[in-house]
Amino acid sequence: MFGKRILLGITGGIAAYKIAYLIRYLKKEGAEVKCIMTPASCDFISPLVVSTLSQNPVAIEFWNKQTGVWMNHVELALWAELFVIAPATANTISKMANGGCDNLLLATYLSMKTKTVIAPAMDLDMYQHPTFKRNLAQLIEDGVFVIPATSGELASGLEGQGRMEEPEQILEFIKSKLEFSTALKNKKVLITAGPTYEAIDPVRFIGNHSSGKMGFELAKACLSQGYHVTLVSGPTNLELVHSNLELIKIESAEEMLSAVQSVWNQINIGIFAAAVADYRPNKKAEQKIKKSESEMTIALVKNPDILRWASDNRTNNQFVLGFALETNNSLENAFSKLYGKNLDLIVLNSLENKEAGFKKDTNKIVILDKQKTQIEFELKSKKEVAVDIINTIEKYLM
Ligand code: CTP
């Protein structure tokens, strides 16, 4: 932790008194600590204690009433390698989830470029309340890490889940996040997504029903973990903007292949989620084809297999994951693609399951490896499936 820059946000809950210990532990590990307190938290722990232990002035208001000096929240956010908000009250979590900005801590959160971690603390019924759960889910989606509250005796005298995790455990979490993000910072992921459109003439094409949702969710999951992502996407209605994202939009399989080829030697992990058209018309008509004949035939030629090209051309020891969309003999077909295309992992998407597949928000997957391991997952939203896939890849890379 030596020299690591930790920004600590303290909000108004009884657990705030424990933050004195967390600051001590962080300082003992050699970290630099700066603290922001909400005005309400000053009723639970004195800014003097926080400032003395952190060996830095404490930021509370947007400007210092005595000196008239403005507190630069943007500078604080840029300084921090990690922003840890502990305790995080239901009120602060709600404002974070909804873009609230009525104190310095929230303005700093909105200015953060790196990771934010929260350690919620509240009474048990508040912790179970649907609005709190909704807000927490929103923050997780936004890439905030959550250290779940533990169970035990609460300030109200009731017993249940809502206690802020102990400072020793928060310290361990901070350490693991910092190590993990250093390892990931330079890793680059390539994701293919969506359908491809193979032109018949200037207005018609051969395509499929892929929405691109799975590939875009994978990109979001990677970005929220700190990866750099190149997303090569066929035509979809989806958009994604992120400072660590390069989005390359293509139409045909041949264009998708050249986009993949142009970046492949810089990539560490390749995830091939696109539903590439297997065939394309052997030539695109220059002009719109007229319906003069009673029958017509379009000659098709095979498209390049982009995944196979990538796996055969691993210049950087890339980890390669493919998808298998199957309607019958699912496991057998998926295993033969895994071996045939020499993949590290394959995600089997079986259309034998009605909740899975094109244009659905849910998916049920099995991940297969070359040792014939089958990791089965429950039916989940594509967002959750994406996180499962990334977590599985990371386990294989560790
Ligand atoms: N894929 C690809 N390029 C292609 C075809 C498929 O990159 N031209 C990738 C897909 O993105 C997916 C995997 O290969 O990760 C499996 O695709 P799928 O269409 O299910 O398998 P195919 O190899 O095309 O076999 P088939 O259509 O005969 O089932």
Residues with CB under 6 A from ligand 1: 192, 253, 272, 274, 276, 278, 303, 305-307, 322-325, 337
Residue 314 binned pLDDT confidence (cut-offs 50, 70, 90): very high
CB 255 within 8 A of CB 234: no
How is residue 354 annotated by DSSP?
T
Nearest C-alpha neighbor of 366 from the set 383, 381, 349: 349
Report the alpha-carbon distance of residue 356 to residue 382 in Å, rounded. 9
Domain boundaries, the chain: 5-183, 185-284+293-397
CATH number of 185-284+293-397: 3.40.50.10300
Which among 191, 258, 278, 335 is the best mutation to test ligand 1's pocket, defined by most ligand atoms within 8 Å of the CB? 278
Interhelix angle 90-98/104-111, nearest 10 degrees: 40
Residue 181 binned pLDDT confidence (cut-offs 50, 70, 90): low
185-284+293-397 matches 5-183 in CATH topology:
yes
Output the residue whose Cα is nearest ligand 1's atom 28: 278
Output the residue whose Cα is nearest ligand 1's atom 4: 305
Task: Render pLDDT for 370-397 as a digit per residue (tens, 0 to 9).
Answer: 988 888 888 888 988 998 899 889 878 7
Judge whether residue 118 has pLDDT over 70: yes
Task: Render pLDDT for 183-200 as a digit per residue (tens, 0 to 9).
Answer: 666 789 999 999 999 999
Q: What is the pLDDT of residue 322?
A: 98
How does the average pLDDT of the chain come out, rounded? 92
Collect all residues with Cβ–Cβ distance below 8 Å to 330 and sequence separation of at least 6.
324, 348, 350, 352
- State yes or no: is 313 an active-site residue: no
Task: Render pLDDT for 34-93 as a digit per residue (tens, 0 to 9).
Answer: 999 999 999 999 999 999 999 999 999 998 777 888 888 888 988 999 999 999 999 999
Q: What's domain 5-183's superfamily in CATH?
A: Flavin prenyltransferase-like (3.40.50.1950)
Determine what percent of the chain is predicted with pLDDT higher than 90.
Answer: 71
Output the residue whose Cα is nearest ligand 1's atom 21: 324
Which among 208, 323, 328 is the best mutation to test ligand 1's pocket, defined by most ligand atoms within 8 Å of the CB? 323
The mean per-residue pLDDT over the stretch 330-337 comes to 96
Judge whether residue 140 has pLDDT over 60: yes
Output the residue whose Cα is nearest ligand 1's atom 27: 278
| Element housing 170 (H / E) | helix 167-184
3-state DSSP assignment of residue 100: coil
How is residue 69 annotated by DSSP?
P
By DSSP bridging, strand 58-59 and strand 188-193 are unpaired
